[in-house]
Amino acid sequence: MCENGAYRAYETAEQRSGRFRSVRSAEGSIGERAVRFADHWLYSIVKKEVFPMALSIPNESSPRGPGAPPCPACNSEGGFVFHSLKGLPVHSVMNTTSFRQARDLPVGDIALSFCNQCGFVSNSTFDEKKVSYSTDNYEATQACSPTFRMFAERQARRLIDRHGLSGKRVLEIGCGNGEFLELICRLGDNEGIGFDPSYNKKNSPVKSDRKISFVKDYFTEKHTGHGADFVMCRMTLEHIHKTGRFVRMVRSTLGAKSDTTVFFQVPDATRILRDCAFEDVYFEHCSYFSPGSLARLFRRAGFGIIGLEGGYDGQYVMIEARPGVADDPSCGAPESDLISLRAYVRNFADRYRRKAASWHACLRRWRAAQRRVVLWGAGSKAVSFLTSLGIPPAFIPYAVDINPHRHGSYIAGTGQRVVGPQYMREYRPSTVIVMNEVYREEVETMLRDLGLRPQLVTMESGGAL
């Protein structure tokens, strides 16, 4: 089914039935359809162009959906579930060594719930026991991208200038392999300490002579008294379910040190909800923040907001806060986003269904035209896109990634092979789906350098081609 024979065109009956067992919904309808498709899924793909692996089950009970548990951010009741997904991989960036291992990874369910009081969105069915970051196979770095490195350096210099971070002690929660911590310590001659259970010394850029240490563990109350002048947490809070408790804990670790600034960066849920960016919804991300819900969270925990802004083409929201101070008036009035958020969540499930249908139709057309289609980007967006739409390797055999540590791995849940850009010179794709619009120019340049000019498609197109 693909030219190099990397994927078998058949499976045993036991493998097929096992593969679909995890997608059975509470009502049974999607799961039953999947089991019925299992015995002839290959023929269906070839002859009928269906997508039997689809795992997505949007909530159809009512525009507001069923009730949700108390909000993890503000503990209010009265929230509601507005979109549900069944059987998605619990890990999106776990390197796997075989197609079968990728397909057999544990799965979990998503029920996105909206808090009417604070605007926070969370996965009300999240089970933290299913997620483990304490493995060397976890590969989440974005630092291989020149575009991202440029953004990170500008951000580091801005924080150093704004907060006088020179000769200071900087602490990072969720530091990964320490790329950004190393950058801010090197540029500002700072001392650093990073916390992350997924820290992999082998892949870390930090040299042994730098004044940086790492703790391969979660940041908890036991680290009170760290004495940091600046605490940062980038792209980590969205992985934490009990966000209210966590931010209060961060505040408590500062003790009486009221001059410490904290800086948090998370994906901006406003964009995800407004644009129905379903590729940004996956199991590891159990918490979703708008600028308003993020500000309200920190204010309740005893912080004053001294900075609140978006960045990276509207994909991130960043907050700067300090304990026991008044809000900076220049931050605006983030509370004003509740009305628009309610409208976005009300329409999300319907828009998702339309987008899914559009992408499926687009893939059928490409297949009928014998176009070679690949993804560019093998991270969480790719996993969410492929698994929630149920796209098997027969339709998209490869995911390209510039991170060499991912090469030779397989996409969680669906099993596409992850390859480096150089392989495209041999494969010569007709269409490249760029998973993140921010990298379009970077991808186009790399393809042109390889002598390739395929059609470039972004997620923003919604498959409407």
User: What would the mean pLDDT of 401-420 be, rounded to a whole number?
Assistant: 93
Backbone angles phi and psi of 279, in degrees to 5: -65, -15
Q: Is the pLDDT of residue 13 over 60?
A: no
H or E element that contains 84: strand 80-89
Question: Contacts for 137-140 with beta carbons within 8 Å, 24 or more apart?
Answer: 137/94, 137/95, 137/96, 138/91, 138/93, 138/94, 138/95, 138/198, 138/200, 139/93, 139/94, 139/95, 139/203, 139/403, 139/405, 139/406, 139/409, 140/93, 140/176, 140/198, 140/379
Tell if the pTM clears 0.95, that is, is over it: no
Please return the burial class of 50, using the count of CB atoms within 10 Å of its CB with bins 0-12, 13-18 and 19+: middle
Looking at the structure, give the CATH architecture of the domain made up of residues 146-333: 3-Layer(aba) Sandwich (3.40)
Radius of gyration of the chain from its Cα atoms, rounded to whole angstroms:
22
User: Inter-axis angle of helices 13-21 and 29-38, to 10 degrees?
Assistant: 170
Q: Which residues contact 197 (CB under 8 A, 6 or more apart)?
A: 133, 134, 216, 217, 218
What is the C-alpha to C-alpha distance for residues 303 and 326, in angstroms, rounded to an integer? Answer: 8
Specify whether the CB–CB gap between 94 and 105 falls below 8 A.
Answer: yes
How many residues does this entry show for the chain?
Answer: 465
What is the C-alpha to C-alpha distance for residues 173 and 158, in angstroms, rounded to an integer? Answer: 19
Give me the pLDDT at residue 226, please. Answer: 79
Specify whether the CB–CB gap between 433 and 455 falls below 8 A.
Answer: no
| CA 129 to chain centroid | 19
* pLDDT tens track for 83-130: 999 999 998 887 888 999 999 999 999 999 999 999 999 999 999 988
Residue 193: pLDDT band by 50, 70, 90 thresholds? very high
Residue 276: both structure tokens together: 């129905």
Percent of the chain with pLDDT over 90: 67
Continuous H helices in 369-408: 380-389
Residue 22: pLDDT band by 50, 70, 90 thresholds? very low
User: What would the mean pLDDT of 200-205 be, rounded to a whole number?
Assistant: 81
Higher pLDDT, 118 or 15: 118
What is the C-alpha to C-alpha distance for residues 414 and 389, in angstroms, rounded to an integer? Answer: 10
CATH topology agreement for domains 146-333 and 361-461? yes
Q: Hey, where are the domains in the chain?
A: 146-333, 361-461
CATH topology of domain 361-461: Rossmann fold (3.40.50)
Q: Which residues contact 448 (CB under 8 A, 6 or more apart)?
A: none
Range scoring the smallest mean pLDDT among 52-56, 135-139, 180-184: 52-56
Per DSSP bridges, beta strands 121-123 and 287-288 are antiparallel
Per DSSP bridges, beta strands 169-173 and 121-123 are unpaired
